[in-house]
Amino acid sequence: SQQGEEDPQALSIQEGENATMNCSYKTSINNLQWYRQNSGRGLVHLILIRSNEREKHSGRLRVTLDTSKKSSSLLITASRAADTASYFCATEDDKIIFGKGTRLHILP
Amino acid sequence: GAGVSQSPRYKVAKRGQDVALRCDPISGHVSLFWYQQALGQGPEFLTYFQNEAQLDKSGLPSDRFFAERPEGSVSTLKIQRTQQEDSAVYLCASSLAHLDTEAFFGQGTRLTVV
């Protein structure tokens, strides 16, 4: 089963631009996490935001959470070629459930 | 170990064959998760353990799938009588605590059933 739904499914932007990905989910959560997956490799944890938090920053990443709308967004500022990857939101109540992901492609 | 280790990295099985996939979590991690990821899709939850207890196996697709973690450390995912639809990457993850901590993923086992 998949709880989160990322939007858009795919995104191509020029290097240096900002990339925004959105995630909507259905049920109550303890926290929401974002992960990155490079082609053919395992998932890497990016950031965790708890249900009582509204915004969190980590380096070039900014995550927001709106529990009333059951949605989250991930902003990557000043994108780089190395940011090309798939990005997944994952919600946690008692287990971690992933969405289908956004495939981000940074154009040189 | 330094990270979550999965073996084998690649497995080709003939339809009907039984397979066993191994996961070595990070030492001391309480929670262990198994996911199935089809090409171009997100990881689908299969099952999870807290120490040796299997707390949720609602994602296992059929009774051909079985997972165990007998000593609360290494886990094995077994698939009996493999079918072509079982072809996927099987990901294992571990986390230090039950909730509110990041999960660390292994590189996965790519299973191809022919």
Tens digit of each residue's pLDDT, chain B (114 residues): 579 999 999 999 999 999 999 999 999 999 999 999 999 899 999 999 999 999 999 999 999 999 999 999 999 999 999 999 999 999 999 999 877 788 999 999 999 999
SS (H, E, C) B38-83: CCCCCCEEEEEEECCEEEECCCCCCCCEEEECCCCCCEEEEECCCC
Closest chain A residue to the Cα of B44, Cα to Cα: A1
A50 touching B, CB under 8 A? yes
Question: Which pLDDT tens digit goes with each residue over A31-74?
Answer: 999 999 998 778 999 999 999 999 999 999 999 999 999 999 99
B106 touching A, CB under 8 A? yes
Going by C-alpha positions, the residue among A82, A75, A74, A78 that lies closest to residue A105 is A82
Q: Which pLDDT does position A1 carry in this prediction?
A: 54
The encoded tokens of residue A97 equal: 């459930």
Q: Do A88 and B42 touch (CB under 8 A)?
A: yes
A1 touching B, CB under 8 A? yes
- Cβ atoms of residues A100 and A2 within 8 Å: yes
A41 touching B, CB under 8 A? yes
The encoded tokens of residue A100 equal: 């289908």
* pLDDT at A7 > cutoff 90: no
Size of chain B in residues: 114
A38 touching B, CB under 8 A? no
Closest chain B residue to the Cα of A5, Cα to Cα: B42
Min distance A88 CA to chain B CA atoms (Å):
7
Please calculate the CA angle B14-B20-B23 and round it to the nearest 5 degrees. 140
Q: Tell me the HSE value of B13 on the side-chain side, using a 13 A CA sphere.
A: 26
Q: Which pLDDT does position B100 carry in this prediction?
A: 77
The encoded tokens of residue B24 equal: 């070595």
Q: Which pLDDT does position A103 carry in this prediction?
A: 96
Q: Which pLDDT does position B74 carry in this prediction?
A: 98
CB-based contacts of A51, cutoff 8 Å, min separation 6: A28, A29, A30, A31, A32, A65, A67
Closest chain A residue to the Cα of B103, Cα to Cα: A45
Residue A2: which pLDDT band, with cuts at 50, 70 and 90? low
